[in-house]
Homo-oligomer: A and B are copies of this chain.
Amino acid sequence: MPRAGLARSAVVGAAADLADEVGYHNLTMGLLAERLGVRTPSLYKHVTSLADVQHRIATLAVTQLDDVTRDAIAGWAGRQALAALATAFRDYIRHHPGRYVATIGAPMSGHDDPLYQAGARLLHTMTAALRGYCLPSDQTVHALRTLRATFHGFATLQAFNGFQRPDDPDETFHWLIELIDRGLRG
C-alpha cells in the first residue's frame, strides 16, 4: 500500500471543504475518507471520532472568522468598523456555510479547549470594533452579545434561505447595520 501521507490538518481541512460543499449535516466519515482516497477506518489514525472532526472544523472556522474580521476592521472606527465587521462576518459565512454551521452549538470542554480560546479571541476582536462608540464598560458585554446574536441570526436566516420575499437581503443588511449604529449611540 502506498501511503497517503495524511496529516491531521489535511484531514480537518478536507472535512471543512466537504462540509461547505455537501452541507454540514451530510458530512460523513465515509465521504471524508473517499475524498482523501482512503478507507473509512484509516481516518481513525488521525482523528478520534466524527465528533472530533466536527469540533476541529468549528475551531478552524472560529479561528478563520477571527482572522478575516480582524483584517476587515483594521483602520476603521465607529459605524465604519461596525459595517466592516458585519460584512466580513457575512462574507465568511456565505463562502463557508458548512464550517459556520459547525460552530453553532459546538460543545466546549473548558477554558483550555482550543475552540473556547478561538472564541475568546474573536470576542476580543469584536470588542475592538466597538471601541469607537465609547460605551460604558458595564454595557460592553451587552453590546457584544447583541452583535453576536444579530450577526448570527442574520447569517442563519440567509444561510437557510429564510428570506422568502424577493426584496434584496443586502438592503436589509445595511438597514440592520444602520439600526444598530443608531442604537449604540443614544
Chain B's closest residue to A25 (CB) is B105
Docked Cα-Cα span, A163 to B160, in Å, equals 24
- A149's partner among B105, B171, B176 (CB-CB below 8 A) is B176
CB within 8 Å for A141 and B172 given contacts A151-B153, A153-B152, A182-B182: yes
CB pair A162 B148 closer than 8 Å: yes
CB pair B153 A172 closer than 8 Å: no
CB pair B184 A105 closer than 8 Å: no
Judge whether A167 is part of the interface by a CB distance below 8 angstroms.
yes
* In the complex, chain A residues 147-165 whose Cβ is within 8 Å of any chain B Cβ: 148-154, 156-157, 159-165
Judge whether A3 is part of the interface by a CB distance below 8 angstroms.
no
- A153's partner among B116, B139, B150, B178 (CB-CB below 8 A) is B150
- A180's partner among B143, B154, B183 (CB-CB below 8 A) is B183
With both chains docked as a complex, state the minimum distance between the C-beta of A107 and any C-beta of chain B, in angstroms: 9
Number of copies: 2
Docked Cα-Cα span, A151 to B152, in Å, equals 10
Chain B's closest residue to A145 (CB) is B172
CB within 8 Å for A152 and B156 given contacts A180-B183, A182-B182: yes
Judge whether A104 is part of the interface by a CB distance below 8 angstroms.
yes
With both chains docked as a complex, state the minimum distance between the C-beta of A98 and any C-beta of chain B, in angstroms: 13
Chain B's closest residue to A101 (CB) is B105
CB pair B153 A105 closer than 8 Å: no
Which chain B residues border A142 with CB–CB below 8 Å?
167, 171-172, 175-176
CB within 8 Å for A149 and B157 given contacts A180-B183, A182-B186, A183-B180: yes
